[in-house]
Structure 1
């Protein structure tokens, strides 16, 4: 849990740039996803002991002899702890929380990319996970990545070719589609990933931070595309540190903290509670740091 990263939370973008039109209603009671008591743990190998200072300095031979034992240290990390919720067709669900809270791990478990330690995930349909760090091949051109990404989403090569120009136009990358992706800016890469993932109209679209790199026009297009997916009986998950974006694009919000589901409800209510929590935590840390510095001066 990276609880010390709370100052990195980016609460807002320019709200004047947001489309404040109401989200379209999609009336349905049909479940698209059921997460039941989900736990996800993973092991970190070679973890170092902490809390014992620098220790005695060892010579080269001693370090070589101890290398095997030190690297065998294993630390168990509980990234998701007993999360339960249900999602319905037509919902746009935001997921918020501090860095290291388990948001991205939760999405990857839903997408089937990480096996649960315990609990179950039942999905009605095919999920597509879009992340800023999604595995596209940086040494290949955008055009090749469009084909690879489209095929991985279940489209035929003919369907990818048919939608190729639409994807390029949506991503706003122009002639860069013929350049290797390693030449792209982070914003261009994120826009292309969104365009690829949304081109197939997946049953469940999961977006991990991708919209944070787009400008106002791209966010408006993304919102319209998300609304189209919802109207087609799809479900959208959006992870973002921007509470303005979450309130603008989502019909429901999950607040995850230290791997646990803290709150599940209406976007404005959950975002206000989360903002108050982080501000209070920041204030407490600032007061603690000030007290510590004062005591050291004495």
Structure 2
């Protein structure tokens, strides 16, 4: 077995952690239920819930005691069945959902794709590039210098001058591509991507994966949630498998995906075609 590389002191080089989750629990409240407002079931529910919070609400324990450490240069895929807590965990890493128990430590300000780049539907694509760039922490000068790169990368002008039109005229795929292009225009200590690579043609997916590799080379950490297991294995070197809010497996992406696919083939769980 080849020994790990060492520094001049003869010890393994220190890896820099960018995200550390220590026994993290995330619980949130959702509104409503299946029963109608005036039904007997709804009335009984309101009686039972008196003193336990607002009527018609329930708490969801979405992430249960998850622990892991992420390091500079890693691309980490998050996989699991629908409702397993993947997106909730990303939001907790980004600081958008509070941690109810345990601790979440991050280096710098993580960027959650499509949230930090909070684009507005009534503004043109051009104005949204500026708005999104500012939201991602870029200066106006940096945005001006990278504007053409952002538009070209997104490919939304390939079939017309869509960048000058309001974003409400864009397809969902065009909007997702523009958000990714804005977020990927600068380096991040931690970049969180939720389903962004599921949109666009094969050319855009190749550009996206290449850019993720570049971001990793620039010493950042990338987290990726995708419907496609092949995207996880092609883009990530490590994967976290969440199931019912718990961390079921953490290891090399190909091994974790293989174990997850075996699980879904037996249980029939997972998303579309068993690949979420």
Shorter-chain TM-score range: 0.7 to 0.9
| Counterpart residue number, 2:274 | none
| Counterpart residue number, 2:75 | 92
- Residues 1:205 and 2:195 are matched in the alignment: no
Distance 2:209 2:145 in 1: 23
Unaligned runs of 5+ in 2: 1-12, 270-276
- Residues 1:120 and 2:114 are matched in the alignment: no
Distance 1:56 1:113 in 2: 37
Work out whether residues 31 and 89 of structure 1, in 8 Å CA contact, stay in contact via their aligned partners in 2.
Answer: yes
Work out whether residues 255 and 274 of structure 1, in 8 Å CA contact, stay in contact via their aligned partners in 2.
Answer: yes
Q: 1:71 Cα shift?
A: 6.8
SS in 2 for 1:78: strand
Unaligned runs of 5+ in 1: 1-26, 284-298
Q: How does 1:1-298 map to 2 (within 5 A)?
A: 29-47=15-33, 72-131=55-114, 135-174=118-157, 175-282=161-268
SS in 2 for 1:189: helix
Q: 1:74 Cα shift?
A: 2.8
Q: 1:98 Cα shift?
A: 1.3
SS in 2 for 1:200: coil
Q: 1:132 Cα shift?
A: 8.7
Q: 1:219 Cα shift?
A: 1.2
Cα distance change of structure 1 residues 103 and 264 upon mapping to structure 2, 3 Å threshold: same
Give a deviation string over 1:189-219, Cα, whole Å, max 9, x none.
1110100001121111111001011221111
Bigger radius of gyration: 1
Work out whether residues 44 and 76 of structure 1, in 8 Å CA contact, stay in contact via their aligned partners in 2.
Answer: yes
SS in 1 for 2:119: coil
In angstroms, what is the RMSD of aligned CA positions?
Answer: 2.8
Moved more, 166-175 or 115-124: 115-124
Distance 2:153 2:100 in 1: 38
Q: How many residues align?
A: 248
Cα distance change of structure 1 residues 132 and 282 upon mapping to structure 2, 3 Å threshold: farther
Distance 2:267 2:39 in 1: 33
Q: 1:278 Cα shift?
A: 1.0
Moved more, 72-81 or 108-117: 72-81
SS in 1 for 2:113: strand
Distance 1:56 1:32 in 2: 51
Return the structure number with greater helix share.
Answer: 1
Distance 2:193 2:14 in 1: 22
SS in 2 for 1:85: strand
TM-score (norm 1): 0.77
Q: 1:134 Cα shift?
A: 6.5
Distance 1:56 1:159 in 2: 59
Q: 1:44 Cα shift?
A: 2.1
Work out whether residues 47 and 71 of structure 1, in 8 Å CA contact, stay in contact via their aligned partners in 2.
Answer: no
Q: 1:176 Cα shift?
A: 0.7
Cα distance change of structure 1 residues 73 and 213 upon mapping to structure 2, 3 Å threshold: same
